[in-house]
């Protein structure tokens, strides 16, 4: 564990009454959205974006996981949570719209949501294969499509796509994930 994850460790940055501490931080006033931000790498990224002064929206499929992350990140009004499924176009459009209601246009997108299922290649069925593609590939595509108009309009933006080393070298029992 990263030590920052709600299941493994310490609470994160920030007190909502410490706005004077934000002066001079590089991302003050920027809205960052982190998919899969409720735990693991996404949680750590959200923590660091908050530490750099950004207003952060974390998204994920599980509202309870997001609520736990919000309570342990302890960033007050600078952190919002929105439940949604990155693999579903209508759901991700609604997720991004709700995120904008909190902090305005999205300036930073971290496409972090991912899913890995394991099993022998000969036993992977069409549904599992499609689910891996929908979350790990289509989710990144849909997230980028939804954030890019804000970045083009404001003439500023950053997109970070989190990937796995499995994309460089395949591993046994995770062929659908490696794809």
Strands annotated E in 17-175: 31-35, 55-60, 79-83, 108-111, 158-161
Task: Give 174's contacts (C-beta < 8 A, 6+ positions apart).
Answer: 116, 117, 118, 166
Instruction: Assess whether 177 carries a catalytic annotation.
Output: yes
* Spatial contact of 171 and 159, defined as CB atoms under 8 Å apart: no
Annotated catalytic residue: which of 43, 171, 173, 177? 177
Beta partners for residue 42, in sequence order: none
Catalytic center residues: 177
């Amino acid at each position: 564990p990263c030590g920052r994850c709600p299941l493994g460790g310490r609470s994160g940055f920030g007190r909502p009454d410490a706005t004077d501490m934000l002066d001079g931080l590089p991302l003050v006033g920027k809205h960052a959205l982190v998919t899969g931000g409720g735990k693991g790498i996404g949680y750590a990224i959200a923590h660091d974006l908050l530490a750099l002064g950004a207003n952060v929206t974390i998204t994920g499929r599980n509202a309870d996981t997001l609520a736990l992350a919000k309570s342990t990140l302890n960033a007050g009004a600078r952190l919002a949570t929105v439940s949604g499924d990155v693999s579903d176009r209508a759901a991700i459009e609604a997720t991004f719209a709700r995120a904008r209601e909190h902090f305005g246009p999205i300036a930073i997108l971290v496409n972090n949501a991912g899913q890995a299922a394991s099993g022998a290649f000969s036993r992977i069925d069409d549904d599992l294969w499609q689910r891996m593609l929908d979350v790990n590939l289509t989710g990144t595509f849909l997230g980028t499509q939804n954030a890019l108009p804000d970045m083009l309009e404001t003439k500023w933006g950053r997109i970070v796509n989190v990937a796995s080393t499995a994309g460089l070298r395949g591993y046994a029992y995770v062929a659908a994930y490696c794809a």
